[in-house]
């Protein structure tokens, strides 16, 4: 057997062994294990996502965040998006703070070379049948780096788009079980 074929067979065997190890699902009373099953609560079928409130001067931020969360819910959860009146659950929140933090500055020009776009939100996911909060997070933060200086000359919107996606991904990840 030639060397590349032998390497392929060994790699394939290692992948099969690894995948077999990931198939262990804990039984009742055991600790966490690995599973390919969804960890999103199964008693819910739909989510209404209200337009996030915005306490910052960055006006497009809350609309872009709401839209990104809706897309993330549709992409990675078993839930459908519904109106407030029809949904089992409601996701709502407030953009509390937006900050641009300079990480580095050009010695020659004094202009910002790297800037961190930071956003802090409060949000909660509520069971509309009972009014009980399923999960809530205050001071939930995300950030994204952008480079406003030349040669990149990225506009501030690049940082905002990236941080909005980071927040949407993180919020939806927090809708999973085992809080």
For the entire predicted model, the pTM comes to 0.76
Lowest mean pLDDT among 27-31, 52-56, 98-102: 27-31
Interhelix angle 60-76/156-173, nearest 10 degrees: 40
Topology of domain 40-173 in CATH is: Rossmann fold (3.40.50)
Banded model confidence at residue 100, pLDDT cuts 50, 70, 90: very high
Higher pLDDT, 19 or 119: 119
Which of 92, 91, 90, 87 has its CA nearest to residue 45? Answer: 87
Domain boundaries, given as residue ranges, for the chain = 1-37, 40-173
pLDDT given for residue 5 in this prediction:
47
pLDDT tens-digit map of 118-149: 999 999 999 999 999 999 999 999 999 999 98
- What are the structure tokens assigned to 97, written together? 């703070």
Q: Give the C-alpha separation, 28 to 165, whole Å.
A: 35
Which of 105, 75, 11, 87 has its CA nearest to residue 49? Answer: 87
Q: For residues 87 and 115, is the Cβ–Cβ distance under 8 A?
A: no
Which of 23, 20, 19, 44 has its CA nearest to residue 33? Answer: 23
Going 69 to 140 to 62 to 166, the CA torsion angle's sign is negative
pLDDT tens-digit map of 52-96: 999 999 999 999 999 999 999 999 999 999 999 999 999 999 999
């Amino acid at each position: 057997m030639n060397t590349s074929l032998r390497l392929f067979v060994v790699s394939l065997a290692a992948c099969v062994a690894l995948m077999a190890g990931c198939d262990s699902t804990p039984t009742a009373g055991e600790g966490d294990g690995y599973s390919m099953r969804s960890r999103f609560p199964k008693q819910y079928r739909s989510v209404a996502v209200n337009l996030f409130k915005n306490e910052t001067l960055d006006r497009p931020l809350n609309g872009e965040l709401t839209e990104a969360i809706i897309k993330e819910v549709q992409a990675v959860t078993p839930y459908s998006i519904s109106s407030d009146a029809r949904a089992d659950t409601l996701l709502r929140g407030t953009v509390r703070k937006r900050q641009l933090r300079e990480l580095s500055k050009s010695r020659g020009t004094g202009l910002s070379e790297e800037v961190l776009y930071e956003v802090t939100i409060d949000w909660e996911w509520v069971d509309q049948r009972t009014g009980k909060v399923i999960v809530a997070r205050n001071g939930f933060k995300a950030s994204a780096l952008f480079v406003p200086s030349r040669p990149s000359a990225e506009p501030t919107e690049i940082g905002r788009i990236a941080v909005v996606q980071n927040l949407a991904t993180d919020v939806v990840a927090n809708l999973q079980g085992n809080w």
